[in-house]
Amino acid sequence: MAEVTTRPRVRFAPSPTGYLHVGGARTALFNWLFARRHHGVFILRIEDTDADRSSWDMVAGIVDGLRWLGLDWDEGPDIGGPHAPYFQSQRLDRYRAMADRLVREGHAYYCYCSAEALKERRDASQTTGIAWKYDRRCCELGADQIAELETTGAPRAIRFKVPEGTTYFDDLVHGRIEFDRANLEDFVILRSDRHPTYHLSVVVDDVEMQVTHIVRGDDHISNTPKQVLLYEALGIDLPHFAHVPLILGPDRKRLSKRHGATSVLEYKHLGYLPEAMVNFLALLGWSPGTDLEVFDTAELVEQFSLAGISGGNAVFNPEKLDWFNAQHIARLASGEIARRIEPELRAAGLWNDDVLGSGRSWLLRVIELLKPRARKLTDLVESGRPFFGHAVTYDPDAVATHLGDPGLASHLDALRDRFATMTEFAAPAIEATLRKVAEERGVKAAPLIHATRVAALGRAVSPSLFDVLELLGREKTVQRLGVAARIARGDAAGDRF
RNA sequence: GUCCCCAUCGUCCAGAGGCCCAGGACGCGGCCCUUUCAAGGCCGAAACACGGGUUCGAAUCCCGUUGGGGACGCCA
């Protein structure tokens, strides 16, 4: 089973639920990576046969999610394509025509059993303990019985007539999978309201859209034999199937809302980079076969192969996602980071239009300094606050441990005076000055450094203090040192917290 | 219940009969660096579910058990 023939055509076919969840995102990603890797076509198709919910609004969440991840499609509802429309709800006539043809050719038949009657029989079989399967009642109807039912105008659905025997298909991730058709019932392909069921619509669309590889979730394995039967009845060669394992929550249950964030867009708002999300998702169930793990999207495209997909389900590991995010932030150019956090900085009232001009390089240097310790973009906004804002918010614990000693006040005053008068306010000189002041006053440098950090930023952790002060600038440093001295004395405590 | 899929460290993966007393990564512990916190470097604890085969040899092949997951709709 050759994985790739010529130019593969794959599709991502979500139901319009309003948002793209993590599992769907990974399925879409695998399809996209495969298409891009082999210069094929990635199709976006909306499976909304069930509903009147076929508006573009309903798919907006999914589309936004895909766009955020950078997964672009070559054919789809918004851009059209040679097989438009890409909303199943707009293709109903095709499914009906196909269902009618299957009846005509003897592969399907009308079923007049009502939903209620079916339920009754199903429930009855439950008590006997025998697994329920449609009893084929309508398949065995005589011509006169059918004629009679037709005259009463009874609603009729169309069922596919499952032949005896065995059905198999060669799955690209699982190998050959066989099903005894005795376990398959005559499934409905067209409801009594003439709307298709999933089995019919996927097959019809995949055939018409010339999909060559069906890459979808594991949960579809048991649907596949029914679809294989449909392909065979239609006399059409099977596409390749690749069923990818599901993503599970920490409790090993299928990932769902109760596991927290499941919409990819939520991750955007939590400060994750799309390239990190893509990287993480790609390696959840797939491996390039090497020890490397951090890849940008282009590298992923280059290495992707369906053969590298593993067969078992994967548990979503948020800590590892965080790590990937940190790795990608560290690799991102500061200018790009600035561009991405601008909205957040603006929203937090921390954006100074200055940074578009003369302050630009200063902004980039601040980001450069903060970058290595950020796991999320939101960390950058948070840790950047004392740099961008004017007011300092003092962490009470930091103040208590590092500015709690009133004896510190005079040292801070001395340091402030020296900072105010030293010539070049740059990191090496700042460090030399501080150490000198400490030495002159007979105190260790460490406590003074810690106190100065709290003075400058209001918190006990930060990048190297001397770099921090240089970027903060002499003016703010001196001013904040003054405030800190008053806090140490106990004067200013009341209005600063 | 029936059918199907899966089974290597807590988690994600590598391993396609000897290279494996099992390798990488996250997380965890320790050390180094150091003004704090990260980053980085080094070290460490941590797994082939179980039982039978096959074979000179099995994490790798076969069977069974157990465990986990999925599907059993006129949902997709």
Quote the tokens at residue A44.
């976006």
Task: For residue A144, give the 3-state DSSP assignment.
Answer: helix
Half-sphere exposure of A260 (CA within 13 A, CB side): 9
Alpha-carbon distance of A353 to A356, in angstroms, equals 6
pLDDT for A52 equals: 59
3-state secondary structure A322-351: HHHHHHHHHHCCHHHHHHHHHHHHHHCCCC
Residue A15 CA distance to nucleotide B24 C1' (Å): 37
Residue A267 CA distance to nucleotide B1 C1' (Å): 40
Judge whether residue A291 contacts strand B, using its CB and a 7 Å cut-off: yes
Q: Count how many residues are written for chain A.
A: 497
Judge whether residue A17 contacts strand B, using its CB and a 7 Å cut-off: no
Residue A320 CA distance to nucleotide B11 C1' (Å): 9
Judge whether residue A315 contacts strand B, using its CB and a 7 Å cut-off: yes
Higher pLDDT, A79 or A121: A79
Quote the tokens at residue A200.
């019919």
- DSSP letter at A216? E
Q: How confident is the model at residue A153 (pLDDT cuts 50, 70, 90)?
A: confident
Answer for the pair A245, A311: CB distance below 8 angstroms, yes or no. yes
Q: Which residue, A226, A262, A232, A231, is CA-closest to A246?
A: A262
> For residue A180, which nucleotide's C1' is closest to its Cα?
B3
Residue A310 CA distance to nucleotide B59 C1' (Å): 16
Judge whether residue A117 contacts strand B, using its CB and a 7 Å cut-off: no
Q: Which residue is nearest to nucleotide B15 (CA to C1')?
A: A289
Answer for the pair A313, A248: CB distance below 8 angstroms, yes or no. yes
Alpha-carbon distance of A241 to A309, in angstroms, equals 13
Judge whether residue A163 contacts strand B, using its CB and a 7 Å cut-off: no
Amino acid at A205: D
pLDDT for A497 equals: 42
Half-sphere exposure of A413 (CA within 13 A, CB side): 10
Alpha-carbon distance of A22 to A65, in angstroms, equals 10
Q: Which residue is nearest to nucleotide B12 (CA to C1')?
A: A284
Judge whether residue A1 contacts strand B, using its CB and a 7 Å cut-off: no
> For residue A221, which nucleotide's C1' is closest to its Cα?
B4
Answer for the pair A174, A311: CB distance below 8 angstroms, yes or no. yes
Residue A292 CA distance to nucleotide B23 C1' (Å): 13
Alpha-carbon distance of A146 to A144, in angstroms, equals 5
Residue A248 CA distance to nucleotide B70 C1' (Å): 12
Q: How large is the average pLDDT for residues A458-469? A: 96
Ranking A131-135, A326-330, A451-455 by mean pLDDT, the lowest is A131-135
Task: For residue A99, give the 3-state DSSP assignment.
Answer: helix
Helix axes A56-69, A22-37, angle to 10 degrees: 60
pLDDT for A17 equals: 82
Q: How confident is the model at residue A4 (pLDDT cuts 50, 70, 90)?
A: low
Q: What percent of chain A has pLDDT over 90?
A: 77
Write the CB contacts of A354 (distance below 8 Å, at least 6 apart in sequence).
none
Alpha-carbon distance of A316 to A281, in angstroms, equals 9
pLDDT for A495 equals: 44
Residue A309 CA distance to nucleotide B28 C1' (Å): 28
Quick: pLDDT tens for A232-267: 999 999 999 999 999 999 889 888 888 877 899 999
Q: What angle do CA A17, A20, A22 make, to 5 degrees?
A: 130
Higher pLDDT, A140 or A414: A414
Task: For residue A443, give the 3-state DSSP assignment.
Answer: coil
Answer for the pair A12, A43: CB distance below 8 angstroms, yes or no. yes
Judge whether residue A29 contacts strand B, using its CB and a 7 Å cut-off: no
Judge whether residue A279 contacts strand B, using its CB and a 7 Å cut-off: no
Structural element, H or E, at residue A202: helix A198-208
Strand partners, A178: A168
Quote the tokens at residue A296.
């940008």
The strand B neighbours among A residues 327-386, by Cβ under 7 Å, are: 327, 330, 372-373
The winner for highest mean pLDDT among A48-62, A109-123, A345-359, A367-381 is A367-381
Strand A9-12 and strand A41-44: pairing?
A: parallel
pLDDT for A149 equals: 87
pLDDT for A306 equals: 96
Q: How confident is the model at residue A331 (pLDDT cuts 50, 70, 90)?
A: very high
ipTM confidence:
0.96
pLDDT for A133 equals: 86
pLDDT for A257 equals: 81
Question: Taking the CB of residue A294, how many other CB atoms lie within 10 A of it?
Answer: 15
Judge whether residue A167 contacts strand B, using its CB and a 7 Å cut-off: no
Q: What angle do CA A386, A392, A394 make, to 5 degrees?
A: 115
Higher pLDDT, A150 or A282: A282
Answer for the pair A285, A77: CB distance below 8 angstroms, yes or no. no
- pLDDT(A2) > 60: no
The mean pLDDT of chain A is: 92
Higher pLDDT, A463 or A495: A463
Q: What angle do CA A454, A455, A461 make, to 5 degrees?
A: 20
Q: Which residue, A243, A271, A406, A280, is CA-closest to A25?
A: A280
Q: Which residue, A172, A253, A250, is CA-closest to A216?
A: A172
- pLDDT(A496) > 50: no
Quick: pLDDT tens for A416-460: 999 999 999 999 999 999 999 999 999 999 999 999 999 999 999
Amino acid at A446: A
List the nucleotides on chain B closer than 7 A to a protein CB: 1-8, 10-15, 23-27, 35-40, 68-76
Write the CB contacts of A303 (distance below 8 Å, at least 6 apart in sequence).
A288, A295
To the question of pTM greater than 0.90 for the whole model, the response is yes
A194: left (phi over 0), alpha (psi -120 to 50) or beta: left
Judge whether residue A177 contacts strand B, using its CB and a 7 Å cut-off: yes
Answer for the pair A177, A169: CB distance below 8 angstroms, yes or no. yes
> For residue A222, which nucleotide's C1' is closest to its Cα?
B71
Residues of A annotated as catalytic (active site), given as ranges: 257
pLDDT for A64 equals: 96
Alpha-carbon distance of A227 to A214, in angstroms, equals 12
Q: How large is the average pLDDT for residues A370-391? A: 92
